[in-house]
């Protein structure tokens, strides 16, 4: 029997607050430090490891976190979720994004169908469509193949799919699976659509419109923008557009699309990369087999997240150490720092995933909570960040926990040897060095050159950024965010905080404003 409890009612949370803190710089020094780093590692799927040697925990803290997990029924709550309970209580919805990549528990029936079958069915429809586009069964009006796919969507219909496309574009090039180039239009700023379109070969571009509700104003506006451009170019939009939406949306049965693929209300936007929202554009870009590899990697990570042993459940471990850093140690932010240029937009995806899920001040019953919830998430790839904001991370007045990601091998394999090492070796040497520099610091009589250390990080290490590795990364963070929501007892699956802005923007457009809102509207010449 599951009980939803605020974190500050847990005995384990009180114990956690009372427990002796770890001196990270001490723990990480010498041969004990070496042993610690060797031991504090957990497989996280697709051949990757989650190493938490440089997080501010020890065996005692870990044992309290295990009690916390037990007392808060963390793994049971995940089981309830994947077995189809209504976990998104605010919107009265099940939460089923895991089902796009596997069946972790019971069959789940909803809307009169088995949901796993439904999701797999849509994947198969998408795969068949993508294959037809690739093999020339679906052509443009001039009988030519499409060479580019352009997704029109915003938020979860943009950030995740875009981050994944960028992550695998070069991998696909060298593995000869780049079937089509992809582009993305998201912002309602008309310069976004106009700028992207100015770089596209319109007659050979297939657009994918993504909106679950079929009513997202930005996306419909950009669809119109694109249709205008197609018509001006003498092309029939209906020959150039597919859509991903829900079966009940106004788009679902429209004749305006080459094909329509369906998702449903049980998959939130920020969790939708493994549904058709990511599946359509990525299957078109890389081929359905590559998209299936992403799902397989995600399924591996999902499976690990069901483990009741904290030390074999990397998502739960990452989540609970994060809660400890946030609520007991008081750190306000988390930085995501992939040492991989291909992951340049992965932090932006995690920023949405995490901040939109857990940036809440009320629990799942709508009662105020008395503790901090979701942190600020930001990040850029290394080594670039080292030449940018790492100064503050090393020597600033706030401590920011860091989430590094690194791969032993590059995706493209091209490299040069300079000063006795390859670029890839330099890249990896830098992330290893940074972890130790942050954790251990360095004393100096000139305090301007002193590094205090004690700045925690973890690193996810993989062989190479492949589709499976990317899938496991994606699922790891989705599950981490879900587990933190369980810890804080918030509903991670709604987003009421986006509503007020929408309401007021409508008023501005209707010229139905007074007071400050009218002055700002005038300032902006609306």
Which residue's entry shows tokens 């319109």? 202
CB 288 within 8 A of CB 126: yes
Q: Does residue 333 interact with its own copies by CB under 8 A?
A: yes
Catalytic one of 38, 173, 502, 506: 502
For residue 245 the two structure tokens come to 């939406």
Q: Does residue 339 interact with its own copies by CB under 8 A?
A: yes
Q: Does residue 325 interact with its own copies by CB under 8 A?
A: no
Q: Does residue 170 interact with its own copies by CB under 8 A?
A: yes
CA–CA distances in Å: residue 44 to residues 47, 76, 82, 318: 7, 20, 19, 11
- For the CB of residue 453, give the shortest distance to its own copies in the complex, in Å: 9
Query: Binding to its own copies (CB under 8 A): which residues in 413-452?
Result: 414-416, 418-437, 439-442, 446-449, 451-452
Angle of the 74-82 helix axis to the 314-323 helix axis, nearest 10 = 130
Q: Does residue 88 interact with its own copies by CB under 8 A?
A: no
For residue 37 the two structure tokens come to 């780093």
Q: Does residue 186 interact with its own copies by CB under 8 A?
A: yes
Binding pattern for the stretch 276-315 against its own copies, x by CB under 8 A and - elsewhere: ----------------------------------------
Residue 170: which residues within 8 A CB-CB, separation 6 or more?
Answer: 342, 411, 412
- For the CB of residue 73, give the shortest distance to its own copies in the complex, in Å: 22
CA–CA distances in Å: residue 298 to residues 46, 98, 240, 409, 447: 8, 9, 31, 21, 46
* 502: annotated active-site residue: yes
Binding pattern for the stretch 355-384 against its own copies, x by CB under 8 A and - elsewhere: xx-xxxxx---xxxx-xxxxxxxx-xxxxx
Compare residues 123 and 272 and give the one whose CB is closer to its own copies. Answer: 272
Binding pattern for the stretch 94-133 against its own copies, x by CB under 8 A and - elsewhere: ----------------------------------------
Phi-psi region of 143 (alpha: psi -120 to 50; beta: other; left: phi over 0): left
CB 522 within 8 A of CB 514: no
Catalytic one of 356, 360, 380, 478: 356
Closest C-alpha to 299, from 74, 467, 171: 467
Q: Does residue 207 interact with its own copies by CB under 8 A?
A: no
CA–CA distances in Å: residue 392 to residues 60, 335, 340, 420: 30, 12, 21, 31
**Alpha carbons 478 and 467: distance in angstroms, whole number:** 17
According to CB under 8 A, which one of 2, 17, 86, 195 is a site residue for its own copies? 195
For residue 438 the two structure tokens come to 């942050």
Q: Does residue 328 interact with its own copies by CB under 8 A?
A: no
Consecutive H or E run containing 209: strand 205-210
Q: Does residue 19 interact with its own copies by CB under 8 A?
A: no
CB 408 within 8 A of CB 463: yes
Q: Does residue 43 interact with its own copies by CB under 8 A?
A: no
Q: Does residue 390 interact with its own copies by CB under 8 A?
A: yes
- For the CB of residue 362, give the shortest distance to its own copies in the complex, in Å: 5
- For the CB of residue 349, give the shortest distance to its own copies in the complex, in Å: 9
According to CB under 8 A, which one of 64, 126, 130, 461 is a site residue for its own copies? 461
Query: Binding to its own copies (CB under 8 A): which residues in 214-273?
Result: 217-218, 220-222, 224-225, 228, 269
- For the CB of residue 60, give the shortest distance to its own copies in the complex, in Å: 20
Would you name the residues annotated as active-site residues? 356, 387, 502
């Amino acid at each position: 029997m599951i009980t939803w409890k605020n974190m500050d009612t847990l005995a384990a949370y009180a114990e956690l607050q009372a427990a002796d803190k770890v001196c990270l710089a001490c723990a990480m020094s010498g041969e004990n430090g070496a042993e610690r780093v060797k031991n504090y590692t957990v497989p996280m799927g697709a051949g990757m490891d989650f190493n938490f040697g440089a997080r501010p925990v020890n065996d005692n803290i870990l044992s309290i976190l295990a009690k916390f997990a037990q007392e808060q029924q963390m793994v049971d709550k995940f089981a309830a979720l994947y077995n189809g309970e209504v976990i998104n209580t605010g919107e009265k919805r099940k939460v089923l994004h895991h089902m796009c990549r596997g069946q972790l528990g019971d069959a789940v029936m909803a809307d009169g169908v088995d949901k796993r079958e439904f999701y797999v069915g849509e994947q198969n429809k998408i795969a068949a469509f993508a294959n037809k586009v690739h093999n020339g069964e679906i052509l443009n009006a001039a009988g030519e193949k499409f060479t580019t796919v352009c997704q029109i969507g915003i938020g979860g219909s943009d950030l995740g799919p875009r981050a994944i496309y960028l992550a695998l574009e070069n991998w696909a090039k060298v593995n000869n699976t780049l079937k089509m180039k992809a582009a993305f239009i998201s912002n309602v700023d008309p310069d976004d659509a106009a700028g992207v379109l100015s770089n596209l070969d319109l007659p050979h571009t297939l657009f994918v419109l993504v909106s679950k509700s079929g009513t997202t104003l930005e996306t419909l506006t950009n669809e119109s923008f694109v249709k205008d451009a197609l018509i001006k170019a003498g092309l029939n939009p209906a020959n150039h557009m597919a859509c991903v939406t829900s079966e009940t949306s106004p788009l679902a049965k429209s004749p305006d699309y080459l094909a329509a693929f369906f998702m449903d209300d049980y998959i939130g936007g920020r969790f939708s990369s493994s549904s058709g929202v990511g599946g359509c554009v990525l299957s078109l870009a890389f081929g359905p087999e590559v998209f299936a590899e992403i799902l397989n990697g995600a399924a591996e990570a999902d499976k690990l997240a069901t483990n009741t042993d904290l030390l074999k459940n990397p998502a739960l471990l990452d989540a609970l150490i994060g809660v400890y850093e946030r609520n007991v140690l008081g750190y306000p932010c988390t930085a995501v720092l992939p040492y991989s240029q291909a992951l340049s937009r992965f932090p932006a995806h995690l920023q949405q995933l995490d901040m939109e899920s857990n940036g809440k001040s009320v629990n799942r019953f709508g009662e105020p909570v008395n503790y901090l919830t979701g942190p600020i998430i930001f990040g850029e790839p290394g080594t670039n960040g080292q030449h940018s904001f790492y100064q503050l991370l090393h020597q600033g007045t706030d401590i920011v926990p860091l989430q590094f990601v690194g791969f032993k091998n590059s995706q493209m394999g091209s490299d040069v040897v300079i000063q006795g090492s390859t670029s890839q070796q330099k890249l990896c040497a830098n992330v290893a060095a940074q972890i130790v520099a942050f954790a251990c610091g360095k004393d100096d009589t000139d305090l301007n050159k002193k590094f205090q250390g004690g700045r925690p990080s973890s690193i996810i290490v993989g062989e190479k950024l492949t589709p499976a590795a990317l899938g496991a990364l994606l699922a790891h963070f989705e599950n981490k965010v879900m587990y933190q929501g369980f810890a804080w007892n918030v509903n991670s699956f709604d987003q009421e905080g986006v509503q007020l802005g929408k309401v007021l923007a409508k008023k501005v457009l209707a010229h139905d404003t007074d007071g400050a809102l009218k002055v700002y509207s005038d300032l902006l010449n609306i």
